[in-house]
Amino acid sequence: MYFLLVRRRERGVSIPNAKLAKIKPLRADVHIEYVHSKVLGRPCIEAWVFNPTPSGDIIPRLQDACVNGMAQRGMNITGLEEIDGVLYSQSWWCRVE
Q: Across the chain, where does the E strand assignment appear?
A: 2-7, 9-10, 13-14, 26-37, 42-49, 63-71, 74-83, 86-95
Q: Taking all residues of the chain, what is their mean pLDDT, rounded to a whole number?
A: 94
Chain segment 22-56, per-residue pLDDT in tens: 999 999 999 999 999 999 999 999 999 999 888 88
pTM over cut 0.95? no
Res 31: pLDDT? 96
- List pLDDT tens digits, range 56-90: 899 999 999 999 998 989 999 999 999 999 999 99
